[in-house]
Structure 1
Amino acid sequence: MKVFYLCRTGHHTSLIAAALRLGRLPADPGSAGEIYNIPGFDDMDFKDVGKPYYVGTDSSNVEIYTIGVMRNHAMMARAANDLIGLMGVKYGEWLVIDASRSVSKWTIAGLIFKKLRLRTLARTFIYFGARREYDRLAAIYH
């Protein structure tokens, strides 16, 4: 089985959801260090949006990926699910989860600062966004 978490970049909100699923983060909001130390967190270039990023394999042998889809999350989730069906993948073997529904305004502001190359400010806003999103992400990772 494969699970794909979608968010704007594939390296923020969806990566936190994937890390929760893999047990790399506690169920309660992690510290800034715990979040920043997730392999791949905030380690992307906007040109990499749309490319699947392998995060790991969980204890049930499910492969976990993230994909950045920018603002097109609802359309991409539908398109991905339709493509999965067209490829003949059995229902339930691949799962697409739209983590972008949990994105906060803090995270969006952080991404704007990132695009402006204000990295320290961007990471601060992205971290506060992650703290606001944490409970919703913990609920969807199952």
Structure 2
Amino acid sequence: MLRLSNNVEIAAWEIDISAIRAQGAGGQNVNKVSSAIHLKFDIKSSALPEFYKQRLLSLNDSRITKDGVIVIKAQSHRTQEMNKEEALQRLKTLILEAVKTQKARRATKPTKSSQRKRVESKVKRGQTKNLRGKVQF
């Protein structure tokens, strides 16, 4: 079971976890042991609230297939247990980031003082650059 918040959780049967052989360097351990984890989570058939499903399906993320299945592959650790924990943590992070609501931005004006200081610094910088020019007699 993966707990997302106080009242939202994902049951263990909704998450399909399979062990596969990892890719890349690692020698005999990588070649013989299935330590990498392949996690699949079907958004549409899950028991998540509708709001969560809509936000996840509207994400433009390469880990979400066209069919609405989240696919995560974890292979950075040597042990299967640690890779499983990492995959579950990544799934949780993905879901929680998707349902975050962004605070509305309020447009603000710069103060008169800051506007004046900005113009003064630009004038001073321009004068400095002018002094670098050719000397004319």
If the length of structure 2 is used for normalisation, what is the TM-score?
A: 0.27
Normalized per residue, the structure richer in helix is 1
**Which one has more relative contact order, counting CA pairs under 8 Å at least 6 apart?**
1
The structure number with the bigger radius of gyration is 2
